[in-house]
């Protein structure tokens, strides 16, 4: 994903809006001094990129991934992913993965692509989460873009499983092993344990709570809406990191940026342009704010959602979420819930080649689509997979191995 910027006037006013507009002129003019470390071991790139994620001692964040059953039992609701207070009348959706941790927040020599372990699903599948702030040296201090990347990966890449027990963090950076630890999607022979979530199943939500920012802002608000046509905010991919196999989810356009297109190094860029939902289309297909009750955590009108996406700002509360309906206040921390209803991905096909001529995105046409193909690959043919854990090809139903989304934070002091 690239810079989630546009329509700042819709988000903030006065001096903050002016500061944001002053920063827009340098978009795309990337600097590449990533080896020039300052006294704290932080690159000039990262130091200049406005606020970044604070991963100091005790700076924790909690991440949830959940999927509703389909069909839903009577005691669950599509519009109440966290259930009701006390569990009456609705219970929360089942949790696929959850973890509270200090985020890695990458730095050289490993580059921009480290991944925090979130949960072990099986012997051949772990879920990891990447978070990063794109390089933008004139980005105003009041703003931070964070790109989140959830992956269902094989834990048996050289340099990963060989050097520690399951549950260690992943590295993904250019070069021979131990590079590329998060590059290989899960190939679990149990097809039910292979995908990030069931693409033929029910609604999905991602919940991030308590993200700390450098400089300790007093207040923070999170946005995926109102980011305009240049803000690329959401995609799903069915296989390896650099493949062009993106799902044509609701509102998606081809010709979106290659993976890591906005980092200084060209060595880890994706091979293909991506297929993503941009800010305008996210707005067009998002549940209106008026239908979202932030107190009761109700995300749509009853009985069915009108739109496939919904987003709720859950900032200014910490990672202690024993009671999601009464989060612990914590000024300046970022938090949000992203709900993706099954209408967005059920039956979605894969785009053949997302590259388009010129700099502008394009609609996905019928001739661009196929499949989706079976999920799986032949581990025996990949030298970078631990030899003791290589498996012959076991293709299974199409799956979702990667979910990427970009959130824009606005800070006050």
- For residue 173, the model assigns a pLDDT of 67
- Which pLDDT band, with edges at 50, 70 and 90, does 302 fall under? low
Q: Which residues contact 74 (CB under 8 A, 6 or more apart)?
A: none
Q: What is the mean pLDDT of residues 374-394?
A: 79
Residue 345 CB-half CA count within 13 A: 29
pLDDT tens digits, residue range 109-136? 445 567 899 999 988 899 999 888 876 6
Q: Which of 16-25, 234-243, 265-274 has the lowest mean pLDDT?
A: 16-25
Rounded distance between C-alpha atoms, residue 202 and residue 182, angstroms: 26
Q: What is the pLDDT of residues 202-233, one digit of tens each?
A: 999 999 999 999 889 999 999 999 999 989 99
> By the 8 A CB rule, do 85 and 99 touch?
no
Q: Are the CB atoms for 313 and 411 separated by under 8 Å?
A: no
Separation CA 360–CA 355 (nearest Å)? 10
Task: Quote the percentage of the chain above a pLDDT of 90.
Answer: 48
- Residue 167, pLDDT score: 84
- Asked if residue 49 lies in contact with residue 139, where contact means CB atoms within 8 angstroms, the answer is yes
In the DSSP assignment, the letter for residue 346 is T
Residues 195-205: pLDDT tens digits? 999 999 999 99
In this predicted model, which residue has the larger pLDDT, 88 or 14? 88
Please choose, from the candidates 298, 306, 194, the residue with its C-alpha nearest in 3D space to the C-alpha of residue 250: 306
Q: What integer is the mean pLDDT of 333-353?
A: 95
In the block, residue with structure tokens 């549940």: 287
Q: Is the pLDDT of residue 258 over 80?
A: yes
Name 189's Cβ contacts closer than 8 Å, sequence gap at least 6.
124, 391, 394
Q: Where are the beta strands (DSSP E) in 142-196?
A: 143-153, 170-171
The runs of H, that is alpha helices, within 102-240 are none
CA dihedral 218, 224, 227, 230 (to 10 degrees): 120
The per-residue pLDDT for 310 is 96
**What local confidence, expressed as pLDDT, does residue 42 receive?**
40
For residue range 123-170, what is the model confidence (pLDDT) as tens digits? 889 999 988 887 666 666 788 889 999 999 988 888 786 666 678 888
Going from the C-alpha of 175 to that of each of 130, 178, 180, 355, the distances in angstroms are 19, 8, 8, 25
- Sequence length of the chain is 413
The tokens 């590449």 sit on which residue?
Answer: 32
* H or E segment and range at residue 316: none
pLDDT of residue 17: 29
Average pLDDT of every residue of the chain: 81
Whether the bond into 167 is cis, omega within 30 of 0: no
d(CA 104, CA 276): 26
Structure tokens at 292: 């979202």
pTM of the model: 0.87
Residue 174 reports pLDDT greater than 50 = yes
Average pLDDT score over residue span 337-358: 93
Peptide bond into 178 cis (omega under 30): yes
- The answer to whether the beta carbons of residues 106 and 2 sit under 8 Å apart is no
Q: What's the pLDDT tens digit per position in 13-47?
A: 322 322 222 222 222 222 233 333 333 344 444 44
Alpha-helical segments (H) within 165-290: 279-284
Inform me whether the pLDDT recorded for 186 exceeds 80.
Answer: yes
Backbone phi, psi, residue 96, to 5°: -85, -45
Q: Is the peptide bond before 273 cis (omega within 30 degrees of 0)?
A: no
Q: Which two tokens stand for residue 247?
A: 């799902």
């Amino acid at each position: 994903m690239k810079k989630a910027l546009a329509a700042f006037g819709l988000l903030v006013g006065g001096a903050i809006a002016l500061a944001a507009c002053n920063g827009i002129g340098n978009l795309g003019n990337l600097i590449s001094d990533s080896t020039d470390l300052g006294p704290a071991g932080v690159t000039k790139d990262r130091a200049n990129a406005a606020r970044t994620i604070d991963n100091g001692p005790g700076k924790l964040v909690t991440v949830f991934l959940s999927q509703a059953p389909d069909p839903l039992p009577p005691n669950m609701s599509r519009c109440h992913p966290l259930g009701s207070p006390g569990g009456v009348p609705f219970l929360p959706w089942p949790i696929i993965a959850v973890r509270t941790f200090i985020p890695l927040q990458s730095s050289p020599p490993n580059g921009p692509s480290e991944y925090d372990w979130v949960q072990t699903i099986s012997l051949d599948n772990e879920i990891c989460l990447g978070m990063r702030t794109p390089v933008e040296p004139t980005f105003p201090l009041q703003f931070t873009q964070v790109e989140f990347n959830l992956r269902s990966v094989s834990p048996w890449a050289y340099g990963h499983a060989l050097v520690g027990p399951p549950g260690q963090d992943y590295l993904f950076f250019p070069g021979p092993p131990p590079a590329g630890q998060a590059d290989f999607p899960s190939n679990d022979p149990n097809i039910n344990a292979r995908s990030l979530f069931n693409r033929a199943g029910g609604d999905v939500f991602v919940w991030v709570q308590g993200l700390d920012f450098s400089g300790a802002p007093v207040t923070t608000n999170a946005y995926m809406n109102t980011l305009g046509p240049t803000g690329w905010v959401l995609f799903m991919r069915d296989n390896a990191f650099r493949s062009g196999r993106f799902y044509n989810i609701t509102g998606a356009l081809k010709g979106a940026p290659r993976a890591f297109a906005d980092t200084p190094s060209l060595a880890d860029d994706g091979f293909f342009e991506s297929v993503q939902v941009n800010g305008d289309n996210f707005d067009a297909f998002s549940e209106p704010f008026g239908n979202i009750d932030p107190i009761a955590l109700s995300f749509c009108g009853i009985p069915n959602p009108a739109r496939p996406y919904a987003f709720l700002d859950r900032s200014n509360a910490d990672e202690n979420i024993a009671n999601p309906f009464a989060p612990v206040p914590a000024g300046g921390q970022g938090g949000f819930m992203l709900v993706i209803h099954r209408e967005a991905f059920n039956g979605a096909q894969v785009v053949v080649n997302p590259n388009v001529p010129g700099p502008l995105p394009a609609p996905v046409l019928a001739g661009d689509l196929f499949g989706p193909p079976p999920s799986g690959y032949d581990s025996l043919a990949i030298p970078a997979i631990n030899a003791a854990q290589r498996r012959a090809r076991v293709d299974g139903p199409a799956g979702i191995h990667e979910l990427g989304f970009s959130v824009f934070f606005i800070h006050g002091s």
